[in-house]
Amino acid sequence: MRTGRHPGPSDPTSRRPPERGRRPDVPTLSPRRPHEGARQRPRLSQGDYAVGIEIQIPDIGDFKDIPIIEIHVKEGDTIGPDDPLVSLESDKATMDVPSPSAGVVEKILVKLGDKVSEGSPLLVFKGESAKAAETAAAAPAGADGAALVTQQEPALSAAPSAPAPAAPAGNLPDFSQVHASPGVRRLARELGLDLTAVKGTGEKGRITKEDVKGHLTRSAAPAPAASGTAAFSGSGMGIPEIPAVDFSKFGPIETQALSRIKKISGAHLHRSWLNVPLVTHQDESDITETDAYRKELDNAGKDLKDKGYRVTLLAFLIKAAVSALRKHPEFNASLSPEKDALILKRYYNIGVAVDTPDGLVVPVIKDADRKGIIEISRDLGAISAKARDGKLSAADMQGATFSISSLGGIGGTSFTPLVNAPEVAILGVARSKMSPVWNGTEFKPRLIVPLSLSYDHRVIDGALAARFARHLAHVLEDVRRLVV
C-alpha cells in the first residue's frame, strides 16, 4: 500500500562513506537489555575493560532459525558502538546485528551458515564496562526497514511454490568483501554464482542484478525462450523486466537513492499487487453532524495543558470500520495458506498509514473495538509521533486486521489503495468537501467525504463490498449509531 506524500531522499553524493563493515542499505536490529539479550561473564580484573560480555541475538520478532550470511568481525577486532557484528537473512529481509557498545572481540561463538534465533549466543567481547554495555543495550528498539515490511507478510508456508533448498550450514559463500546489495547477494547464492568473479558496473563498482544476469549470460548459452516471452526476471512470477533505458541521452538526469523503507517495502507491495485480484468500490458519507461533534471534542482536547490531544476524523473512521467489520466478518479475515479456507479474526486491530520523511509506514491501533474516540485519538497522536521520529518498534507494526489510508489532509477525490496482504481489504479516504445535497424540498450544503474500499475479490464479491461500505458510511453519518 503506497499512498500519501513521499518526500525524496537526499542526494546520495552528499552521503559520507560507510564506516568499516557498515552497509547503509541493510536494516539494523536494536539490541535488547542485558538481562534479556546478554549474559555478563566475570573475567580477571584489568580495570573497566576486562569485563567479558556474551552477546546474544536480540528480539527479531517472529523469526526463528535465521541463517548467518556474513560475519563482519574476527577475534581480536576492536569495535565501536553499533558496528555490525553479523548479518542475518530471512525470507523477508536482510538484517545486521549491531554491537551494543565499544570493545574488543574475545571469542566468536558462531560460524557462517549457522541458524540462530532470539537469545542464541553470538560472541564474547571485552567491552568498556558492564555498566557501559548495559547503558547502550538499554536503548529502546527503533523501527527498522525489516520491521516495516515483516509486520504484515504471510509466513513462508503460505507461498504457493516451494522454497529453494537451503545451503548446508557452514558452506555458504563469503561475500563480505563484495560491494553489492543484500538482494544481489541473495540472488547470487540462489543461483550458485561466485560474486567475486562478477565485475560491477554500478556506482563505485557496485554489483547490480543486471551485472549478475549479464555474467550468467556470458557464462552459459541461454535456453531458448517461448515465442513472445521475455527472459525470466528472477522475481518468482516469470514476469519480464522493464527494459533498461539510458535517459541521459534525452537530457540532464539526477539519480537519487531510495530510502531504506521504500527499498525494503517495495518487494512486499509488488507481491501484494501480483497476488491479490484487487477491486475498488467507491462510496461517500455525509459527515456534517459528525464533524461538528468532532470539533467540540478537538477543542476540549486542545485546552488540556499537560495531556492535550487532537481529535481528527480518523478516530471516527476507525470506530465506524470496527462496526462494519463486526457486521461483515469476512473483511476481518485472511485466506489460509492453502487458499481453501478463511481465517476469521475475533480481534480488531486497525492499521493506519502514516506519511514520514522516509516513506509510508503502517502502525497499528490495537483492540480498537475496546476503545472510545478520545483513547483512540491519544493513541493516534502517540504512534504518529513515533513513526515520524523513526522510533516505531516491531510490535507497533504487527497484527493489523484491516487498514485505513487517509489523504484527507492533502487532497484528491478518490484513489485505489493497495490491499496490505494478508489482509483482504483496505479503506482509502480522500478530502471532504461541501456539496449541495437535495433533501426533498431544497438543496442544502453538506460536508461529504469520499470513501474508496479496495478488497481481495477471491474473498469478497461486489455486493458484499457495497454493503460493507454503505454500513460504514451510514454509521459515520451519525455517531450515535456507534453505540447501538
**Dihedral of the CA atoms 208, 214, 220, 221 (nearest 10)?**
140
CA distance 314 to 416: 18
Lowest mean pLDDT among 159-163, 360-364, 428-432, 453-457: 159-163
Lowest mean pLDDT among 26-35, 266-275, 389-398, 450-459: 26-35
- Name 41's bridge partners: 52
- Is the model more confident about 97 or about 6? 97
- Is the model more confident about 366 or about 12? 366
Q: Known catalytic residues?
A: 457
Residue 165: predicted pLDDT: 42
Q: Could you identify the residue written with the cell 455517531?
A: 479
The pLDDT-based confidence of 35 (bands split at 50, 70, 90) is: very low
Residues 353/399, Cβ–Cβ less than 8 Å: no
Residue 166: predicted pLDDT: 40
- Is the model more confident about 219 or about 462? 462
Residues 133/381, Cβ–Cβ less than 8 Å: no
Residue 418: predicted pLDDT: 95
Interval 455-473: pLDDT, tens: 999 999 999 999 999 999 9
CA distance 320 to 348: 12
Residue 129: predicted pLDDT: 43
* Separation of first and last alpha carbons in the chain: 33
Q: Does 382 have pLDDT greater than 70?
A: yes
**Range among 96-105, 156-165, 355-364, 467-476 with highest mean pLDDT value:** 467-476
The pLDDT-based confidence of 451 (bands split at 50, 70, 90) is: very high
Q: What angle do CA 29, 31, 37 make, to 5 degrees?
A: 130
Residue 227: predicted pLDDT: 36
- CB 336: neighbour CB atoms within 10 A? 12
CA distance 29 to 117: 13
Question: H helices within 30-174, ranges in order?
Answer: 34-37, 130-137, 145-150
Q: Does 153 have pLDDT greater than 60?
A: no
Residue 267: predicted pLDDT: 82
Residue 93: predicted pLDDT: 60
CA distance 223 to 212: 17
What is the C-alpha R_g of the chain? Answer: 26
Interval 404-434: pLDDT, tens: 999 988 889 999 999 999 999 999 999 999 9
- Is the model more confident about 152 or about 171? 171
Interval 170-188: pLDDT, tens: 455 666 667 776 667 777 8
Interval 69-84: pLDDT, tens: 878 888 888 888 878 8
Q: Does 158 have pLDDT greater than 70?
A: no
- Is the model more confident about 317 or about 31? 317
Interval 284-306: pLDDT, tens: 999 999 999 999 999 999 888 77
- Name 356's bridge partners: 359
